[in-house]
């Protein structure tokens, strides 16, 4: 397999929009706020309207809310206080918690981002609420982006609740998912809404205050008892496990729109050969036939990025178009301790026929000609580490 790379490294590449995503990784590398395994409630601040009512217990490796019938709608909550999370432009903050089991139709598990400027008692923030019958995506009490009884009902035990919030263009994009832990995290529910600075039309209620909830906030868990005198539950209950957070920063390194090559350091084996040009809002590599395998490259020098335990580094670039089977577009992470000329690092290489995932010249995790060939124009290359 080692022969494949060396005769096929000529670059003919138009790229648009180099983006770096910096993040904690998904389930395997997400930061665990609390797995509840020590059965000691540490860094949680409880809230209840009635002293002692519905205070959660950390027991049996789980976080358990239990309430007797209250004769009215009521909730209790617990806020993870050991850390706050900043929701800001270009950042995704994602909360996850396993819903081990819930009660009936009126026992609502709620996962929420509550701004530090607010309090758990108000439910003013972004929330994801679920019972055996209902699902709500909320901005506060009586303020719902989504308020439905899905048919068929969404599974309510051994699932993961996911609440994701992204700052984008002055808006907050809210996404809620339910994942099935019994079926390899298959997506059972997935809805997205946008909270703009204007007063948005909600499914229920009035968007007031209209502004999105930017700024610092906390991870909060609730049990909401939607008391029904005709069908009281005894007890109302939700059981949680594995509270996790995922934070992803989206940084546009260059969109090439100014047609000025800034903070790019070019490399070529032959002076002037294959140096990329920033033109027409794109980054264009072009090489004449060289009579041998050869490559040229350009390194973004305005910032370095670190790979470290428990975090994910992800590079994106749009491949507008490429040449043929021997014109390879390559997106790479090259350590500062290495050199571009060595290709010693992690790389994703693609032509019209071949795809390689590399660790250096002749060092491939993957080296194949997929059948049918993978589209090679108007696609995005993603290299995640």
Whether the Cβ atoms of residue 313 and residue 385 lie closer than 8 Å to each other:
yes
As a whole number of angstroms, the distance between CA 247 and CA 94 comes to 6
Q: Which residues contact 302 (CB under 8 A, 6 or more apart)?
A: 253, 262, 263
Q: Per the structure block, which two tokens stand in for 367?
A: 């080296």
DSSP 224-290: EE---TTS--SSEEEEEEEEEEEEEEEEEEE--TT----SEEEEESSTTTT--EEETTEEEE-----
Whether the Cβ atoms of residue 194 and residue 212 lie closer than 8 Å to each other:
no
Choose among 285, 316, 337: nearest CA to 383. Answer: 316
At residue 313, the pLDDT reads: 80
At residue 26, the pLDDT reads: 35
Q: Could you read off the pLDDT tens digit of each residue along the chain, which spans 385 residues?
A: 233 333 233 333 455 555 555 443 333 346 899 999 999 999 999 999 999 999 999 999 999 999 999 999 999 999 999 999 999 998 899 999 999 999 999 999 999 999 999 999 999 999 999 999 999 999 999 999 999 999 999 999 999 999 999 999 999 999 999 999 999 999 999 999 999 999 999 999 999 999 999 999 999 999 999 999 999 999 999 999 999 998 887 788 889 999 999 999 999 999 999 999 999 999 999 999 999 999 999 999 988 888 776 667 888 899 999 999 999 999 999 999 988 888 899 999 999 999 999 999 899 999 999 999 999 999 999 998 8
At residue 310, the pLDDT reads: 60
Beta bridge partners of 173: 166, 194
Q: Per the structure block, which two tokens stand in for 325?
A: 């089977």
As a whole number of angstroms, the distance between CA 345 and CA 361 comes to 10
Class of domain 31-248: mainly beta
As a whole number of angstroms, the distance between CA 153 and CA 133 comes to 6
As a whole number of angstroms, the distance between CA 146 and CA 192 comes to 9
In the chain, ranges of CATH 2.60.120.560 domains: 31-248
Cα–Cα distances in Å, from 361 out to 283, 296, 319, 357, 383? 24, 14, 22, 11, 17
Whether the Cβ atoms of residue 25 and residue 311 lie closer than 8 Å to each other:
yes
Q: Which residues contact 78 (CB under 8 A, 6 or more apart)?
A: 41, 44, 45, 46, 47, 55, 56, 63, 120, 220, 221, 222
As a whole number of angstroms, the distance between CA 344 and CA 120 comes to 50
Choose among 324, 312, 280, 273: nearest CA to 296. Answer: 273
At residue 5, the pLDDT reads: 30
């Amino acid at each position: 397999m080692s022969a494949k790379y060396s005769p096929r490294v000529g670059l003919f590449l138009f790229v648009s929009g180099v983006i770096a995503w910096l993040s904690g990784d998904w389930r395997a590398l997400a930061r665990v706020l609390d797995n509840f395994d020590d059965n000691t409630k540490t860094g949680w601040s409880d809230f209840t309207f009635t002293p002692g009512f519905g205070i959660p217990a950390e027991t049996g490796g789980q976080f358990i809310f239990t309430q007797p019938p209250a004769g009215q709608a009521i909730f209790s909550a617990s806020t993870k206080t050991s850390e706050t999370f900043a929701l800001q432009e270009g950042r995704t903050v994602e909360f996850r918690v396993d819903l081990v089991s819930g009660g009936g139709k009126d026992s609502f598990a709620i996962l929420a981002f509550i701004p530090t400027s607010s309090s758990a008692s108000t439910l003013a923030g972004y929330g994801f609420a679920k019972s055996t019958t209902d699902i709500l995506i909320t901005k506060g009490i009586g303020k719902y982006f989504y308020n439905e009884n899905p048919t068929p009902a969404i599974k309510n035990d051994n699932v993961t609740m996911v609440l994701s919030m992204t700052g984008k263009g002055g808006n907050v994009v809210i996404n809620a998912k339910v994942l099935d832990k019994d079926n390899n995290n298959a997506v059972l529910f997935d809805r997205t809404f946008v909270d703009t600075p204007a007063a948005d039309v909600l499914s229920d209620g009035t968007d007031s205050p209209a502004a999105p909830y930017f700024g610092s906030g906390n991870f909060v868990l609730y049990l909401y008892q939607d008391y029904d005198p005709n069908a009281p539950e005894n007890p109302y209950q939700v059981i949680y496990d594995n509270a996790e957070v995922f934070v992803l920063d989206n940084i546009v390194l260059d969109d090439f729109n100014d047609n000025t090559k800034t903070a790019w350091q070019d490399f070529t084996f032959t002076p002037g050969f294959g140096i990329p040009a920033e033109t027409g809002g794109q980054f264009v590599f072009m090489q004449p036939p060289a009579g041998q395998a050869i490559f040229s490259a350009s390194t973004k020098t305005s910032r370095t990025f670190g790979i470290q335990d428990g975090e994910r580094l992800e590079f994106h670039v749009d491949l507008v178009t490429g040449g043929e089977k021997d014109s390879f577009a390559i997106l790479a992470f090259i350590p500062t301790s290495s050199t571009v000329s060595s290709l010693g690092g992690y790389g994703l290489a693609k032509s019209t026929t071949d795809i390689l995932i590399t660790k250096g010249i002749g060092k491939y995790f993957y080296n194949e000609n997929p059948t049918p060939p993978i589209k090679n124009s108007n696609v995005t290359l993603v290299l995640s580490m």
